[in-house]
Amino acid sequence: SNPTNDVILQLQRYFIRIWERHLTNHPGTSFPPIIGIVFYHGKTPWNIGTDFKSYFDCKEEFHPYLPLFRYVLVDLSKVDENQFQGTAELKAALMLMKYSQYANLHEFLSMIFEVLKELRHLEDFLPFFKACILYIMCNLKEEYHEDIAKVISIEFPEGEKIMPTVADKLIRQGREEGREEGIEIGLAKGIIKVLRAKFSNFPQIMEARILAVRELSTLEAIMDIAIKAESLEQFKRQLKPFLPQ
C-alpha cells in the first residue's frame, strides 16, 4: 500500500456505481450520502491531499465549478491499537493491517492472537482464523514462519488443522504465482484461495471477475473484505462496488 493520486478517483468510481445502482432501484429518489474512508497501512507517510480540489492546479475563479469531495483518512500507523473499537473481528483485522507492514511483525502477534482467542466461540471462527493466518504468513519474514507455526499449534487447537494447508501450501504457492505471473494476478489468486478456504460454495463466475481486476489497490481492498467477511452473502454485497457491473 502506497499513497497514490488515483485513490480519490477510485473512490469516485465506487460512489458513481453505488448511485447508479440506487437510481436504477429507486428512480426519482435522492441519492444517499456516502462518506469515503481510506484505511492506510503502508510504510511511507501519506503525503497527498484528501480534498478533490487540491488535485487541481487552476485559478481561484474556477474553484466554484470543481467537485466538492473529500475523504476521511485513517492512517493506522498513527492509531494506537487501544483505540480500535467494534467487534473482535474488526479489531483483529485492523491490528493485522496496522502491523502487517512492520519489519518486527512477529513481536505483535501475541497481542493479535489474544484478540483472536475472543472469537473461538463463534461458529464460523475457523474460516476467519484461516484467513488471518494466511494474511500473517504473507507479511511475516520467512525466518519466523516455523516458530510462529509452533506457537499457533500450541495456543490454538485449531492450528494443527490449518497450518499444513494455509501456512505452507497456500503461502508458498501464492508467492510463486506472484513472482511468475505478476503481483496483481498473484494477489487475485490469493484472494480466491482465501475465499475457497472460507466458503466451500464460492462460485466460479465470481473467481473469473476477481481475476479480471488489474488495479493493485482494488485487489488489496478486496483481500481485506475477504478476510473480514463472515458469510459469502456478506462478501458478495461488499464486493459489488469494486467490480464493473
Q: Which residue type occupies 28?
A: G
Say if strands 72-75 and 37-40 run parallel, antiparallel, or are unpaired: parallel
Count CB-CB contacts under 10 A for residue 87. 12
Please give the average per-residue pLDDT across 96-117, as a whole number: 86
pTM of the model: 0.57
Whole-angstrom Cα distance, residue 190 to residue 181? Answer: 12
| pLDDT averaged over every residue in the chain | 81
Residue 2 has pLDDT above 80, yes or no: no
Using one digit for the tens of pLDDT, what is the confidence trace for 164-197? 555 455 545 555 555 555 667 778 888 888 888 8
- Separation of CA 180 from chain center: 23
Q: Which residue type occupies 79?
A: V
Strand-pairing partners, residue 38, are: 73
Q: Which residue type occupies 104?
A: N
Residue 95 has pLDDT above 70, yes or no: yes
The pLDDT assigned to 172 comes to 55
